[in-house]
Amino acid sequence: MTLLLGPPSSGKTTLLLALAGKLDTALKCSGTVTYNGHEMNEFVPQRTAAYISQYDLHIGELTVRETLAFSARCQGVGDRYDMLAELSRREKQANIKPDPDIDVFMKAAATEGQEVNVITDYILKVLGLEVCADTMVGDEMLRGISGGQKKRVTTGEMLVGPAKALFMDEISTGLDSSTTFQIVNSLKQTVHILNGTAVISLLQPAPEAYDLFDDIILLSDGRIVYQGPREHVLSFFESMGFRCPERKGVADFLQEVTSRKDQMQYWARRDQPYRFVTADEFAEAFQSFHVGLQLEDELRTPFEKAKSHPAALTTKKYGVGKWELLKANILREFLLMKRNSFVYIFICMQLTFMAIVSMTLFFRTEMNRDSIADGGIYMGAIFFGVTMVMFNGMPEISMTVAKLPVFFKQRDLLFFPAWAYALPRWILKIPITFIEVAIWVFLTYYVIGFDPNVERLFRQYFILLLVNQMSSGLFRFIAASARNMIIANTFGSFALLVLFALSGFILAKDDIKSWWIWGYWISPMMYGQSALMVNEFRGHQWSHPLPGSTEPAGIEVLKSRDFFQEPKWYWIGAGGLIGFVILLNFCFTVALTYLKPFGSSRTVISEETESNEQTNGVGGSIQLTNNESGSNRVTNLGIVDIKVCSIHLEHFRK
């Protein structure tokens, strides 16, 4: 159990990200981080170590239990079974009788298919979340659990996984001191019993929480001032001339003693004049302190890779198989659709209302077929139907953007690939599309007076199904590309306007300028509208010639707006829409795979020695090792032995 201390902007988050292998690839880094002697490119650090962010990103419609269960299902048991087999072998050699309770727990946690419930219930008890296990997490629009409970859910989301190295960034934000003590104490028991490694960053830990840790890492201005056992930290600073007052919390003292504003009050050598001691001077003095010398000796001896058990480091990118990941996402998406059922009910009510308006506006007793102008009214009815179905895809923007932060977090933690998230969002919406389009078509078709042939009824239904699916795919793609509600809504509205203008109804094909005609040919709405026009005006009702013409009335109407007249254009339009549905959903998946969330990078430059290029680097040495355990269930495997020879991050200026 290692406590990471340091004032704000001292580099704590950067250090944790570096240890967890989650630093931005754009950063220029030097030095190496090794796990059991293996460098980061020899295994998958995101699954071997768990980084727990200080930001609480969860889907508000899921309960606490469902959130943890989904995380456990995606991360799987990892190599727990191999670890358990190795532990049993070593216990027999050492004649150690395992604790029966821990023995049962570890066997259940290592069993594929059973680990989700066991681990979830265990972590709920450890974090004190049993009281709100079946309460929704909540968000800005939905009332849910408290901020402290949400912080514990963020921690539990990674604890349910098989990772043995935990890097926790400011997990006490929003928690009172007693809750923080409870969580840290539970983590201590877990880490010591299961022989894990935890580096926990806390801003102002209470003395009781501070006493739970084994080691201390103190950062200041990006430099490691002290790293070693908690018992020796005060003696190090006393050797530098600074003493912690009796009634002062040690954690507060450690964070203030390196500060230019607060350092003077702790100066203990009254016979010598005080001068400010910089973080660089502390770091250099630590190298000659007995703890620093011991640490240097340990780091000088590299870890033998042969001693690393194959189960210690994860080499598979994902915790379970592809089908299991897809099934977990399908079940979660289906659950979210049920929780958001009001949205789909409202869309159906909206369609019903607009269908009634359309029936009264385009009423068959007032609709004639005696002129091209009459045909234009039927065209308007078809265009209005396509427009209404297109608008049904707009809610996809807000529903997609709202869940993107959670998706990006889980994607970067290697919970699942992007396609396992994108496919359920597409496939599960298809049955709802059948219902929405059926409401519109079966209410309006015969009342408006379209061709009474039932085959043409179902042909119109089929095309509008494809238009609805195309619209949903388009707005999902816009949302995933924009990643921001304002930008996505702006582009979504613009896309609708362009599609309407270039669909062939508002502007006929001959009226579109030559430099814009490419927009006509790539407009998916044009293909849907052309298919519907051919389907209607090639029907029996429009086979009679108009006065003064020998051609059927339907052909004359299609020519008036420069639509295609051949019957084959129905199937060309259907094929074009199917192609756009596949293309847009493929682009949605690609956007989810490669795009990153919007964020701002922060650069910290030391005020004292700004001219020194190394002051913002994380200098020094870090070694995280397991504690020895005697009669516990787990003998010391050295499963996680992390050695950071040196990390130096060159700072950037905007």
572-593 confidence digits (pLDDT tens): 999 999 999 999 999 999 999 9
Q: Tell me, what's the pLDDT at 101?
A: 63
Q: Going by C-beta distance under 8 Å and a sequence separation of 6 or more, which residues neighbour residue 432?
A: 337, 344
pLDDT band at 87 (very low <50, low <70, confident <90, very high): low
* pLDDT (mean) for 339-358: 93
Region 374-395 average pLDDT: 91
| Between 96 and 497, the higher pLDDT residue | 497
CA distance 389 to 471: 8
Three-state secondary structure call for residue 404: helix
Q: What was the pLDDT predicted at 384?
A: 93
SS3 215: strand
**Given a cut of 80, is residue 650 above it in pLDDT?**
no
All structural domains of the chain with their residue ranges: 1-43+165-320, 56-163, 322-594
Give the residue-averaged pLDDT of 268-289: 89
Q: How confident is the model at residue 330 (pLDDT cuts 50, 70, 90)?
A: very high
pLDDT tens for each residue of 600-634: 555 444 444 444 434 333 344 444 443 333 333 33
Distance CA(238)–CA(224), nearest Å, equals 17
For residue range 557-569, what is the model confidence (pLDDT) as tens digits? 999 888 998 999 9
Topology adopted by domain 1-43+165-320: Rossmann fold (3.40.50)
Q: What is the pLDDT of residue 260?
A: 85
CA distances in angstroms from 473 to 111, 298, 525, listed in the order given: 39, 56, 13
Higher-scoring residue by pLDDT: 31, 483: 483
Give the max Cα distance, the chain.
Answer: 118
pLDDT of residue 40: 85
Question: pLDDT digit string (tens) for 37-69?
Answer: 888 888 888 888 888 888 889 999 999 999 998
Distances (CA, A) of 182 to 68, 166, 177, 191: 19, 17, 9, 14
Using the predicted structure, report yes or no on whether residue 638 has a pLDDT greater than 50. Answer: no
Confidence of residue 81 (pLDDT cuts 50, 70, 90): very low
Beta bridge partners of 198: 166
Beta carbons within 8 Å of 573's beta carbon, 6+ residues apart? 463, 527, 528, 529, 530, 531, 532, 534
Quote the distance between the C-alpha of residue 154 and its chain's center.
12
For residues 365 and 641, which has the higher predicted lDDT (pLDDT)?
365
Sequence-ordered list of residues with C-beta below 8 angstroms from that of 241, at least 6 positions apart, any chain? 267, 268, 269, 272, 277
Give Cα 133 distance to the centre of its chain: 22
Question: CA–CA separation, 55 vs 53, rounded Å?
Answer: 5
Q: What is the 3-state secondary structure (H, E, C) of 4-67?
A: EECCCCCCHHHHHHHHCCCCCCCCCEECCEEECCEEHHHCCHHHHEEEECCCCCCCCCCEHHHH
- What's the pLDDT tens digit per position in 409-444? 999 888 999 999 999 999 999 999 999 999 999 999
Average pLDDT over the chain reads 83
With a pLDDT cut of 90, the percent of the chain lying above it is 38
Given the structure tokens 């019993």, which residue do they identify? 193
| pLDDT number for residue 102 | 64
Q: Can you tell me the mean pLDDT for 478-507?
A: 90
> Which of 126-140, 281-295, 463-477 is most confident?
463-477
